[in-house]
Amino acid sequence: MTRILDPDGPGIAAAAELIAAGELVGMPTETVYGLAGLAFDEAAVARIFAVKERPTFDPLIVHLPARAALSEVAALDKLHLRAIAALDRLIERFWPGPLTVVLPRTSRVPDLVASGLPTVAVRMPDHPAAQALLNAVGAPLAAPSANRFGRISPTSAGDVIAELGGRIAAVIDGGPCAVGIESTIVSLVGPPTLLRPGAVPAGAIDEALGAPLARGVTPTTPLAAGMLPQHYAPHTPLVLFGDLPASLPAHLGLLVQSGDAEAAGRALAGRTGRRVTAVSLSADGDLVERARRLFACLRALDDSGAGLILAEDCLEEEGLGHAIRDRLRRASSR
């Protein structure tokens, strides 16, 4: 039985006790809910991989209570002075917040956390419950998204229960996530490189660094979380809206970027003769709202009974639009 804890003093204290005992707790962040366990406890980390059914070649993100804890996980002495200066600028501008930085790791970080790589991905979350929990535990927490591997990321405590209920000790109910899409991941090992688009626009990072990030990295093995071709996927097959497949099920799900969902659903039903359940990410096309609602809307369509989800692609190619496009492309990869 998974306990639901309030994000108050007693709830945070109870969650911290569970984590200190090696248990796992669903932790709200500004991006998505994370599955938190002690980063330096190999047994707890192994439990994270087992609960999520996550392959061990996919590294985790370590969450820090404060910048002072960075030296516990990152071997900053292995960075060039230029990379140290870049790290300082990024931390000053974006921490706490939805930016993850890949750095050389210390020997304290278990191999399993880093999937055997010489690097570690770290961030400082900007959520009061996450910060309170990190401070109460007093140690870095490994916290990938609190869902089964490859599935839709959770943006509420209810999503965590639906994904992992009965598998983990507790979840802190911090309400819906304010951002709703995962952190941006940047590597500072070598030339500053964008590994995953996310809540912090790459253009803002370019500006902070005074030079453009390298882009378009496609490694054969993941260098950080969320880099596999198929990810963030509903159980229901999802295709990007364009030419309709030759064979359609009786019930379709439809995800549109903006506008009137009911009108879009009626138009598709008239075109196909199928029953349609439609949702819109934002009535007026607001990009922040679209990012915040993306995973919740995908989850609603996944639960609607539709046999196929048709998703309208995001036309914006920068900032949050880049992140939305990335998630939809990976969700549609089969």
- Mean pLDDT over residues 97-124, rounded? 97
- Other beta carbons within 10 angstroms of residue 283's beta carbon come to 11
- Give 216's pLDDT tier (boundaries 50, 70, 90): confident
Instruction: For residues 27 and 187, give the distance between their C-alpha atoms in angstroms, rounded to a whole number.
Output: 25
- Give 215's pLDDT tier (boundaries 50, 70, 90): confident
SS3 99: strand
Reply yes or no on whether the pLDDT at 219 is more than 70.
Answer: no
Compute the half-sphere exposure of residue 213: CA atoms within 13 Å on the CB side of its CA: 27
**DSSP code of 27?**
E
The letter for the amino acid at 325 is R
Domain ranges of the chain: 3-78+100-181, 238-331
Instruction: For residues 328 and 239, give the distance between their C-alpha atoms in angstroms, rounded to a whole number.
Output: 9
> 3-78+100-181, what's its fold?
DHBP synthase (3.90.870)
Predicted confidence at residue 226, as pLDDT, reads 66
Would you say the pTM of this structure is higher than 0.75?
A: yes
> 238-331, what's its fold?
Rossmann fold (3.40.50)
Please provide the size of the chain in residues. Answer: 334
Q: Which residues of 192-216 are buried (b: 16+ CB within 10 A; e: fewer)?
A: bbbbbbbbbbbeebeebbeeebeee
- Mean pLDDT over residues 119-142, rounded? 97
Q: Assess contact for 261 and 311: CB atoms under 8 A.
A: no
- Give me the chain's average pLDDT, please: 94
Predicted confidence at residue 105, as pLDDT, reads 97
- Condensed to tens digits (0 to 9), the pLDDT of residues 166-178 reads 999 999 999 999 9
Reply yes or no on whether the pLDDT at 286 is more than 90.
Answer: yes
- Other beta carbons within 10 angstroms of residue 84's beta carbon come to 13
Predicted confidence at residue 317, as pLDDT, reads 82
